[in-house]
Chains A and B, each alone.
Chain A
Amino acid sequence: MELFGIPLPALLSQLLLGLVNGSFYAMLSLGLAVIFGLLNVINFAHGALYMMGAMFAWMGMTYFGVSYWVMLVAAPLLVGVFGVIIERLLLRHLYKLDHLYGLLLTFGLTLLLEGFFRSIYGVSGLQFNVPEQLTGARNLGFMILPNYRAWVVVASLIVCFSTWYVIERTKLGALLRAGTENAKLTEAFGVNVPLMVTLTYGFGVALAAFAGVLAAPILQVQPLMGSNLIIVVFAVVVIGGMGSIMGSILTGLGLGVIEGFTRVFYPEASATVVFVIMAVVLLIRPAGLFGKEK
């Protein structure tokens, strides 16, 4: 069977690959949006912390023989704690200044972290096996579905939509949204906003680390794996606008799929298609698809 002159299984497998990439975009841009909402900081270090998640998982499995499933929880927790330390020690002192300094600080942290891991592990990829429960693939009749890729999409969808649910539908989320809207007033109602800020940052970067662990068996685990990704995620964030949680998730997934299609029909443009879309969106709707005009 063929569609647009491309065999259907090939088309669908690229589509799945796009969906996998889209899940990473979605999780990363979601974390960026949540952090930006409350801290007004664009966390450049998001890519480096995503890399740290993958690295920690690799280190836990290689040096301590811990299973993939334990590291799937432990690595994000460790990175989350690391994020809390960064927020308390460094970021906290910059909130009163121009937002640019937050970007510059996290950019510096990115260089520092990437350089540090590079000085130990070099730039060649580290071996990271798919956990044995998820090896192999399933034949759906119209395409071959590798189990691990299916797992990545399902796991990230669950995480993304749980995050959406917590923020939009629970009391905790209501406090968070109140803090985003007006931090001073929320504090006046007795909410411990500084603590909320710290934990939000920790949660946002833990989400990045979770994406990193998920990505580890499919993409190469190496110290620079996050830096190219984060720039694409920035473009995703500009396209979607950071105003809405659901908007971030949908934009991330959608752009992953579009990228996948581009790889089928015009592979030369697959690296640049997201940036081209960003340029078009800026011309038509500068505030982003889900952003609000100020």
Chain B
Amino acid sequence: MKASREFTIYLALLVLVALLPVFGAYPVFVMKVMCFALFACAFNLLIGYTGLLSFGHAAFLGGAAYATGHVLKVWGWSTELGLLVGILSGAVLGLIMGALAIRRSGIYFSMITLALAQMLYFLFLQTPFTGGEDGLQSVPRGTLLGFINLADDLTLYYVVLAIFIVSFLLIYRTVHSPFGQVLKAIRENEARATSLGYDVARFKLLAFVLSAALAGLAGATKTLVLGFATLTDAHWSTSGLVILMVLVGGMGTMLGPILGAFIIVALENKVGDIGAFLGRTTGIEWFNGLGEAVTVVTGLIFVICVMAFRRGIVGELQEWWVRRRIQPAA
């Protein structure tokens, strides 16, 4: 794709998202999608561009959500400091987990990240500051820089959009920098990257910390939007969900994770309604319980994607576009 066309697509999308509340979209829902889109983009930096499958990213989302919630609610810090704390806690957790996990590669890496995230989950369950099963409730949004009142949904909407754009640009810049090229080299052939003289472990760790910090920002923003942080954020199922978002949208594409996040968040919201509709039209009682067992649907999508659809939606579209260019329609 030519750079100018790429730019046009991004700009059109940006205008669309900026105008969504005008068209009557529910701001909190779109903000939630943006938080998960940022989370998925951060995750994609690892799986799509470095070839590392982390199964523990929920730890960064959940850890940062708790940290930000705590400093905003209990210590009464300002919003911008709260977000900063979220980013930092994601980065520190990422540094610790990453340093341990990159000692093994491939499938072991995934298992280690999963196990360490589970350990953190148990710690969150036990320590008093997270509120245990109840979570951290009614976190104030506060004011940004002392004069932007975030209690208004629409104001917060554009702040979240700005956070997302800045993070997206950072990821874009990272992927297209010499650093990003080395990451891709590691993904394609780790042994060769080593033989070219790159300190592969350091590059991996840096990518891991960057991804964790951005996931932390996503978690912090999510706390701000929804006003609470719960154990679900840190649970392994959330790590699975972000994998699914990136898989559905397209690993290693810039826009794929955003689309994937939108599809999965919308699906989670609507699956109960869809089940009830199917139950009414087909008369099969079982469909009515679908809302309680969303994982049937997400699991099925996982299986279909892995078996038949590994490039994801955006990946398939790009492929189709390239093929059309090579062989013009007769």
Q: Which residues of A contact B104 (CB under 8 A)?
A: 238, 282, 286-287
For the complex, count residues of B whose C-beta is within 8 A of A.
43
A238 touches which one: B111, B247, B290 (CB < 8 A)? B111
For the complex, count residues of A whose C-beta is within 8 A of B.
45
Q: Which residues of B contact A171 (CB under 8 A)?
A: none
CB neighbors of B among A104-138 (8 A): 104-105, 107-116, 118-120, 122
Task: Determine whether B294 belongs to the interface, using a CB cutoff of 8 Å to chain A.
Answer: yes
Complex formed: what's the CA distance from A282 to B99 in Å?
Answer: 10
Task: Determine whether B328 belongs to the interface, using a CB cutoff of 8 Å to chain A.
Answer: no
Given contacts A90-B307, A122-B292, 7 further A-B contacts (CB under 8 A): A42-B107, A103-B110, A108-B306, A112-B295, A114-B299, A119-B290, A272-B123
Complex formed: what's the CA distance from A93 to B307 in Å?
Answer: 8
Q: Check if A108 sits within 8 Å of B110, measured CB to CB.
A: no
Q: Check if A109 sits within 8 Å of B116, measured CB to CB.
A: no
Q: A103-B53, A283-B100 are in contact. Are A111 and B111 (CB under 8 A)?
A: no
Task: Determine whether A237 belongs to the interface, using a CB cutoff of 8 Å to chain B.
Answer: yes
Task: Determine whether B194 belongs to the interface, using a CB cutoff of 8 Å to chain A.
Answer: no
B293 touches which one: A36, A116, A287 (CB < 8 A)? A116
Q: Which residues of B contact A231 (CB under 8 A)?
A: 114-115, 118, 236
Q: Which residues of B contact A228 (CB under 8 A)?
A: 118
Q: A111-B299, A112-B295, A268-B126 are in contact. Are A282 and B100 (CB under 8 A)?
A: yes
CB neighbors of A among B275-291 (8 A): 286, 289-290
Task: Determine whether A164 belongs to the interface, using a CB cutoff of 8 Å to chain B.
Answer: no
- Name the CB-closest residue of B to A235: B115
State the A residues within 8 Å of B (CB): 36, 42, 90, 93-94, 97, 99-101, 103-105, 107-116, 118-120, 122, 227-228, 231-232, 234-235, 237-238, 268, 271-272, 275-276, 278-279, 282-283, 286-287
Q: Which residues of A contact B107 (CB under 8 A)?
A: 36, 42, 99-100, 103
Complex formed: what's the CA distance from A105 to B105 in Å?
Answer: 19
Complex formed: what's the CA distance from A112 to B305 in Å?
Answer: 14
20 contacts between A and B (CB under 8 A): A101-B310, A103-B107, A104-B247, A105-B306, A109-B299, A109-B303, A111-B298, A112-B299, A114-B295, A115-B297, A115-B298, A119-B292, A119-B296, A231-B114, A232-B118, A275-B118, A276-B119, A278-B115, A279-B100, A286-B103
Q: B51-66, CB under 8 A of A: which get 1 and which 0?
A: 0010000000000000
Q: Check if A100 sits within 8 Å of B110, measured CB to CB.
A: yes
Q: Which residues of B contact A100 (CB under 8 A)?
A: 53, 106-107, 110
Complex formed: what's the CA distance from A234 to B110 in Å?
Answer: 10
Q: Which residues of A contact B183 (CB under 8 A)?
A: none
Q: Which residues of A contact B27 (CB under 8 A)?
A: none
CB neighbors of A among B93-110 (8 A): 100, 103-104, 106-108, 110
Complex formed: what's the CA distance from A57 to B305 in Å?
Answer: 32
**In the complex, how many angstroms separate the beta carbon of B152 from the nearest chain A beta carbon?**
38
Q: Check if B108 sits within 8 Å of A238, measured CB to CB.
A: yes
**In the complex, how many angstroms separate the beta carbon of B103 from the nearest chain A beta carbon?**
4
Q: Check if B108 sits within 8 Å of A110, measured CB to CB.
A: no
**In the complex, how many angstroms separate the beta carbon of B268 from the nearest chain A beta carbon?**
13
- Name the CB-closest residue of A to B301: A108
CB neighbors of A among B107-159 (8 A): 107-108, 110-112, 114-116, 118-119, 122-123, 125-126
Complex formed: what's the CA distance from A275 to B112 in Å?
Answer: 9
Q: Check if B310 sits within 8 Å of A272, measured CB to CB.
A: no
